[in-house]
Amino acid sequence: MNVETPLPAPRARRPFLRGCAIIALVFAAFFVLIGIISRLDGLSLKTGDKVAVLPVTGLITDSEATIDQLKKFAKDDSVKAIVLRINTPGGGVGPSQEIYEEVRKLKGKKVVVASMGALAASGGYYIACAAQKIYANPGTITGSIGVIMQFVNVKDLIEKIGLKGMVVKSGAFKDIGSPVREMKPEERELLQGVIDNVHLQFVSAVAEGRRLPREKVLRIADGRILSGEQAKTLGLVDALGNLEDAVADAGKMAKIEGEPRVVTPPKKKISILELLKDEAKSIIGDKLSENRIRLDYLAQ
């Protein structure tokens, strides 16, 4: 009786299994490496070695974008200090006060330093007063602590071309500031009272933010502009230096070891259609507001 000898197992499958094992090891090593990198990134984020630079530039007509960015930086634990890079002649009272208040809310949470560029006057200086420290260049134009309300009167012009302005109103002061008639003494008195009240709000913000006697602020709160050097002498500015100096100092104040990483808000991509819409809104808004009462913290 013949007994068949069993054939040896085919060797062809061994290289295949070995290849699968190698691939599995490569994937495992890859995921381990990813885990290590993630942990290192997490550690670097937890150290909070960032200083955020937030530009406040141009005429201050709206506070929404600046406030939104301040809130984002406030929630970011890796941002330990914020430098407000201010380069503005000021603007509307309302938007300036809103940004000021939002900066004040950051006290105790983040280090906030103001760095003045070429111009940081009126509403721009108002915002800076909320910071813990203010830097200015020696030649920065700042100050202009005051309020202004402007009107245009075209009464004589429209009379020359045979036009007359007419209005129906519910109260004596409803058409105050009308461009088609002279302002009455009682109207001027009322508006001056509003101006004086808002002006004292500015004075109070400066006195509180700069820790200065109210009387001292009142003596220079007549709308005058100052150089950065003059402002430092008067106690309106803490130090003379550029943006880099302000960033370095903010890092030290936030106890960041070494040179801080600087972050800025992402640049918003704007389409041509959005630009046209914004321009149209700006033109319409200007036309609608020409004859309306508006208070400004604005350098002239």
Residue-level pLDDT at 41: 44
Which of 63, 96, 122, 144 is catalytic? The answer is: 122
- Annotated active-site residue 122? The verdict is yes
pLDDT at 121 over 90: yes
Residue-level pLDDT at 42: 42
What residue ranges define each of the domains in the chain, with the CATH number in brackets?
49-269 (3.90.226.10)
Residue-level pLDDT at 63: 95
What are the tens digits of pLDDT across the range 37-72?
545 444 444 445 899 999 999 999 999 999 999 999
Residue-level pLDDT at 165: 81
Separation CA 200–CA 203 (nearest Å): 5
What are the tens digits of pLDDT across the range 8-21?
555 555 666 676 77
Whether the CB-CB separation of 89 and 119 falls below 8 Å is answered with yes
Residue-level pLDDT at 15: 66
CA proximity to 112, closest of 97, 129, 89: 129
Better pLDDT: 2 or 44: 2
Long-range own/partner contacts, residues 66-71 (CB < 8 A, 24 or more apart): 66/99, 66/102, 67/98, 67/99, 67/102, 69/265, 70/99, 70/102, 70/103, 70/106, 71/102
Which of 174, 184, 252, 281 is catalytic? The answer is: 174
* Residue 287: pLDDT band with limits 50, 70, 90: very low
Q: Give how far Cα 35 sits from Cα of 23, 32, 39, 42, 274, Å.
A: 18, 5, 6, 10, 42
Give percent above pLDDT 70 in the chain. Answer: 79
Residue-level pLDDT at 162: 87
Predicted TM-score of the model (pTM)? 0.77
Average per-residue pLDDT in the chain? 86
